Amino acid sequence: MSDYNFAYLDEQTKRMIRRAILKGVAVPGYQVPFASREMPMPYGWGTGGVQVSAACLTPEDTLKVIDQGADDTTNAVSIRKFFEKTAEVATTEHTGEATVIQTRHRIPEEPLTEDQILVYQVPIPEPLRFLEPRETETRKMHALEEYGLMHVKLYEDISRHGEIATSYAYPVKVEGRYVMDPSPIPKFDNPKLEMAAIQLFGAGREQRIYAIPPYTQVVSLDFEDYPFVASKANHACALCGAGDTYLDEVIVDDEGGRMYVCSDTDYCSGRQDKGHRGEMAAPYMEVAE
Amino acid sequence: MTQDNPLLSVRDIEKRYGARIGCTDVSFDLWPGEVMGIVGESGSGKSTLLNCLAGHIAPDGGRILFDTRAEGLKDTAQMSEPERRMLSRTDWAFVHQNARDGLRMSVSAGGNVGERLMAVGARHYGDIRDQATDWLGRVEIAADRIDDRPTAFSGGMQQRLQIARNLVTGPRLVFMDEPTGGLDVSVQARLLDLLRGLVREMGLSAIIVTHDLAVVRLLADRLMVMKSGRVVETGLTDQVLDDPQHAYTQLLVSSVLQV
């Protein structure tokens, strides 16, 4: 047994966070303030998500951590190791096997089930922040449902770029009431916010927790003549050939060469294991020693 | 609109800052289509009064009755905050002395005008843009400046943009706090011309706070002179300015520089 309390935080802190989560689930999309703790990692590395995960984890859980869809990037690896050490829970890279998934900037391609919890790391929870810098005023606007300003942002997009150019952190209205920032997920993922799993959002520095319960209505804001479009790069994955996934653009040389690959690494490798091949896939799979 | 009710009926409004008087004992009626000027020196309580009337600060006593569309005369100081904020987005408009206080400087001119439309539920980009273009035209801002930010505008243009932004939802009552302050005289003249046209054309009621007697001479039907938080003289504008009764008003009128 390690010298840490289970999942690092002390039990009273976890109770406090669970109370905030329950309130968030009861009022979908509402930002619940909570007493965020110092975590042994810098702000911006997912301190909010880590605290929410810590409050949700049980010893029987299987944890998956992704960063921009990938299981093997610094942020994902360090948070996974953190919980391996402090909670000694099982970890996995397979979406289907996980019971708690902590994510940064993506929703997994594989549809989640009612048995899973999706925890988001949120940098700035307030969707109105860049239009209205006063916290007192934004809280009032949420309370009184004054959301005209959100459309001013979309208006500015269209007037400047000819279309709604906001491509991530695209504002949504939850259950017809609160306007919410779905954290910086690409707007391609917005339609997936109506899902079977419970979704929890934690912002450590800003000390806010909010939630979307399963099967909650989530509508992306738009104009009647400029409807919401869940856009993605117009390519197929170069490794697994999938045409319906969110893609990362990878520059491969200094002559303009590039490839598009699934940002969800688990989904991509799962497809390759089943024999799907994209146009730049390796002719045979290397076997790890 | 009924003519038997005043649009705004103010009774014994008082606002104190600790032991000091902000304004006290102010009563008047404003009728539909009427423009009232409030003049007085700095610190005479005219801005305090205006902020009380517009719901920006809560008065310590008295009643402010506004003729709402749905329920007739209603005390705005007793209203719930959502109701009052709804009024200030629809039936009321507030033109600040400094255009920067009334505009969103990081949002384009079109967005500034469109904000009030979107706040009351407009969700069609083309319609919002058409209305914004129309209103920029009415305040003499060229249509090709619609996507420029107010930071790229001159002071006079910013002030006109603020007026367009306020009038786009067709308010019935406009509060103006020194609308021409800080502008040079030729720009002032143009702005006053524009304001006079809009007020007459839209049948607006307005309360204009200023220390510039020329502004009220041009715009206001009726005049209220304030000193030390109290109203010292009221009457028709020309009457008060041409034949001032109170000693302070006489001083005020005689202080105007003659060129």
How many domains are there within chain A?
2
Q: Chain B contact for A274, CB < 8 A?
A: no
Q: Is the Cβ–Cβ distance between B62 and B11 less than 8 Å?
A: yes
Q: Is residue A115 part of a domain?
A: yes
Same domain, A50 and A193: yes
Phi–psi pair at B250, nearest 5 degrees: -60, -40
- Which of 179-238 (A) contact B at CB < 8 A? 223-226
Same domain, A49 and A120: yes
Same domain, A88 and A198: yes
Query: What chain B residue is nearest to A222 in terms of C-alpha separation?
Result: B123
Contact A152 B114 (CB under 8 A): yes
Distance CA B94, CA B53 (A): 11
Query: What chain A residue is nearest to B104 in terms of C-alpha separation?
Result: A131
The gap between the terminal CA atoms of chain B, to the nearest Å, is 44
**pTM, full prediction:** 0.88
Same domain, A18 and A125: yes
Identify the helix (H) or strand (E) that includes residue B208.
strand B205-210
Same domain, A103 and A199: yes
Query: What chain B residue is nearest to A160 in terms of C-alpha separation?
Result: B147
- Closest among A100, A4, A114 to A49, alpha carbons compared: A100
Same domain, A193 and A53: yes
Same domain, A18 and A76: yes
CB-defined contacts A:B, below 8 A: 52
The residue behind tokens 């504002």 is A171
* C-alpha distance from residue A82 to each of A89, A132, B99 (Å): 10, 36, 53
Same domain, A270 and A202: no
Same domain, A211 and A239: no
Which residues of A fall within a CB distance of 8 Å from B115? 148-149, 152
- Residues A117-136 pLDDT 10s: 999 999 999 999 988 899 99
Same domain, A62 and A116: yes
What's the complex ipTM?
0.86
The 3-state DSSP class for residue A163 equals coil
What residue ranges in A34-99 does DSSP mark as E strands?
62-67, 90-91
| Catalytic site positions of A | 29, 237, 240, 262, 268
Q: Is residue A62 part of a domain?
A: yes
- Residues A30-79 pLDDT 10s: 999 999 999 999 998 999 999 999 999 999 999 999 999 999 999 999 99
- Give the pLDDT band (50/70/90) at residue B109: very high
Domain residue limits at A263: 232-279
Q: What is the CATH number of the domain that holds A52?
A: 3.40.50.11310
- Which of 124-183 (B) contact A at CB < 8 A? 124-126, 128-129, 146-147
Q: What's the pLDDT at A2?
A: 62
- Residues A134-165 pLDDT 10s: 999 999 999 999 999 999 999 999 999 999 99
Which residues of B fall within a CB distance of 8 Å from A144? 81-82, 85
Q: Is residue A174 part of a domain?
A: yes
Q: Is the Cβ–Cβ distance between A269 and A276 less than 8 Å?
A: no
- Give the pLDDT band (50/70/90) at residue B1: very low
A211 HSE (CA, 13 A, CB side): 23
What torsion, rounded to 10 degrees, do the Cα atoms B160, A165, A201, A173 define? Answer: 60
Distance CA A267, CA B22 (A): 68
Mutate to test the interface with B, among A155, A157, A158 (most CBs of B within 10 A): A155
- Closest among A209, A159, A211, A203 to A184, alpha carbons compared: A203
Same domain, A52 and A180: yes
Q: For A156, which of B82, B111, B121 is closest by C-beta distance?
A: B111
Q: What's the pLDDT at A10?
A: 95
Report whether pLDDT(A289) > 70: no
